[in-house]
């Protein structure tokens, strides 16, 4: 169909409108005040989501999940973009080989940072994978000192290490509980054996005697042979460094043998699950240590524990608040750097100073939390009760 020609004036008007529209679009796109597309930033989380430590692993995962939900409700703008954080959660089953595999998967998934791993035995081998890729890793609970002694600048720890924890256990047992004849039992994991080594040093330094050292594995359920050997040495104190499931079996079988010694378990057994599984074997001779501060000493502890219970329908098991704060530390460093690029915000993470749910967050030159606390707890009236907080 024949199109009528435009009058010259009409032609000028149309051209001017088209030109003006194009120039406006270009100005809008290049303006520093224009809205840029939203960006999704993945935060990795690794813990044992299957197996005997799955309740602790899920606890950590939910701590990360709650932090991400809180951050997304704030609609943070970083680098001129509104950031949506997404959880990339992986199960390492508390197995070192699996840990390396899932660490590489997170790198391939292009996460901006990783919270985990929960265990020392998984954190140590996985840390090299993250370091090589330049991805910050913050463990909420791995306490073996070897982790941050490797010299990796991208590795951080939210709680006190086992040099501190072992010192407190050994000293408290000998000095405060007056149990100078000590038997030590570990599960041969990097966590259990490492902590037991530090306890032995501390017992001797405090003037006590290590009458026997025994061990099982993180799968051991029958401790009767170990306990029979321990009983023959007549200890007044026993230290168990392993998971809460093994600790519960150990406590039950110790009761059957009539052992009356005071028992202190390390932080992996400082859980409600230990109490539940040990049942009638729990007495006021039972103690545990927590690599951190108790809820009552956390600046935002009461509110966090209530929100966690409401959101997930289960109480905090152990280190969920520290997993939460690990995410907040990453986000704080990203905001300070105005970048979600790990290679950019890492430098800000190394010098970070913020207040978290658990208290002040600041890392030393090795990546360890500054002023990390150890809490000694005693069983009584169906629950753990705080006896001493040592910094």
Residues 256 and 277 in one domain: yes
Q: Are residues 92 and 31 in contact, defined by beta-carbon separation less than 8 angstroms?
A: no
Residues 219 and 236 in one domain: yes
Last residue of a domain, one of 234, 256, 290: 290
Q: Which DSSP string corresponds to 135-189?
A: --EEESS---THHHHT--TTEEESS--HHHHHHHHHHIIIIIS---EEEEEE-SS
Q: Is residue 11 part of a domain?
A: no
Domain encompassing residue 138 = 39-160+296-372
Q: Is residue 21 part of a domain?
A: no
Residues 178 and 142 in one domain: no
* CATH number of the domain within which 150 lies: 3.40.50.2300
Q: Which DSSP string corresponds to 194-213?
A: HHHHHHHHHHHHTT-EEEEE
Q: Is residue 9 part of a domain?
A: no
The pairing of beta strand 237-241 with beta strand 181-186? parallel
Q: Is residue 31 part of a domain?
A: no
Number of domains in the chain: 2
Last residue of a domain, one of 290, 310, 337: 290
Residues 174 and 265 in one domain: yes
Q: Is residue 333 part of a domain?
A: yes
Buried b (16+ CB within 10 A) or exposed e, 21-60: eeeeeeeeeeeeeeeeeeeebbbbbbbbbebbbbbbbbbb
Last residue of a domain, one of 255, 290, 325: 290
Buried b (16+ CB within 10 A) or exposed e, 93-109: bbbbebbbebbeebbee
Q: Is residue 308 part of a domain?
A: yes
Residues 167 and 283 in one domain: yes
Residues 181 and 271 in one domain: yes
Q: How far apart, in whole angstroms, are the C-alpha atoms of residue 183 and residue 206?
A: 15
Residues 280 and 305 in one domain: no
Q: How far apart, in whole angstroms, are the C-alpha atoms of residue 238 and residue 19?
A: 84
CA 330 from centroid of its chain's CA atoms:
13
Q: Are residues 277 and 337 in contact, defined by beta-carbon separation less than 8 angstroms?
A: no
Residues 217 and 138 in one domain: no
Q: Which residues contact 303 (CB under 8 A, 6 or more apart)?
A: none
Q: In what order do the strands lie in the sheet with 209-215?
A: 209-215, 181-186, 237-241, 262-265, 286-290, 374-380, 383-390
Q: How far apart, in whole angstroms, are the C-alpha atoms of residue 375 and residue 153?
A: 28
Q: Would you call 378 helix, strand, or coil by DSSP?
A: strand
HSE of 191 in the Cβ direction (CA atoms, 13 Å)?
A: 26
Residues 222 and 300 in one domain: no
Q: Is residue 337 part of a domain?
A: yes
Q: Burial level of 4, CB count in 10 A (0-12/13-18/19+)?
A: exposed
Q: Is residue 260 part of a domain?
A: yes
pLDDT of amino acid 25:
43
pLDDT of amino acid 391:
87
pLDDT along the chain (391 residues), means of 10: 46 44 42 61 98 97 98 97 98 98 98 98 98 98 97 98 97 98 97 98 98 97 98 98 97 97 97 96 97 92 96 96 98 98 98 96 97 96 96 87
Helix (H) or strand (E) holding 113: strand 113-115
CA 1 from centroid of its chain's CA atoms:
73
pLDDT of amino acid 36:
56
């Amino acid at each position: 169909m024949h199109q009528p020609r435009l009058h010259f004036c009409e032609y000028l008007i149309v051209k001017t409108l088209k030109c003006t529209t194009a120039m406006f679009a270009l100005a809008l796109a290049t303006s520093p005040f224009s809205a840029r597309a939203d960006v999704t930033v993945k935060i990795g989380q690794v813990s044992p989501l299957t197996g005997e430590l799955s309740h602790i692993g899920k606890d950590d995962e939910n701590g990360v999940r709650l932090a991400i939900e809180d951050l997304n409700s704030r609609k943070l703008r970083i680098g001129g973009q509104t950031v949506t954080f997404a959880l990339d959660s992986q199960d390492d089953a508390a197995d070192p080989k699996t840990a390396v595999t899932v660490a590489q998967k997170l790198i391939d998934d292009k996460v901006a940072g990783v919270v985990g791993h929960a265990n020392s035995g998984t954190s140590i081998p996985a840390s090299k994978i993250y370091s090589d890729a330049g991805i910050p890793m913050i463990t909420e609970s791995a306490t073996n000192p070897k982790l941050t002694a490797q010299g990796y600048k991208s590795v951080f720890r939210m709680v006190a290490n086992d040099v501190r924890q072992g010192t407190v256990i050994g000293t408290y047992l000998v000095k405060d509980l007056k149990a100078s004849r000590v038997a030590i039992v570990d599960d041969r994991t990097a966590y259990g054996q490492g902590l037991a080594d530090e306890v032995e040093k501390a017992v001797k330094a405090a003037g006590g005697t290590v009458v026997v050292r025994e061990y099982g594995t993180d799968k051991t359920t029958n401790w009767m042979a170990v306990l029979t050997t321990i009983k023959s040495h007549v200890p007044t104190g026993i230290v168990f460094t392993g998971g809460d499931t093994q600790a519960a079996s150990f406590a039950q079988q110790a009761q059957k043998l009539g052992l009356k010694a005071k028992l202190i378990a390390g932080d992996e057994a400082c859980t409600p699950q230990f109490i539940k599984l040990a049942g009638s074997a729990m007495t006021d001779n039972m103690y545990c240590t927590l690599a951190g501060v108790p809820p009552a000493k956390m600046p935002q502890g009461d509110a966090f524990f209530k929100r966690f219970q409401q959101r997930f329908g289960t109480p905090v098991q152990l280190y969920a608040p520290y997993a939460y704060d690990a995410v907040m530390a990453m986000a704080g460093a990203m905001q300070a750097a105005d970048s979600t690029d790990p290679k950019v915000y890492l430098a800000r993470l190394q010098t970070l100073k913020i207040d978290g749910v658990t208290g002040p967050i600041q890392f030393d030159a090795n990546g360890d939390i500054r002023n990390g606390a150890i809490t000694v707890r005693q069983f009584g009236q169906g629950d753990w009760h705080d006896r001493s907080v040592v910094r």
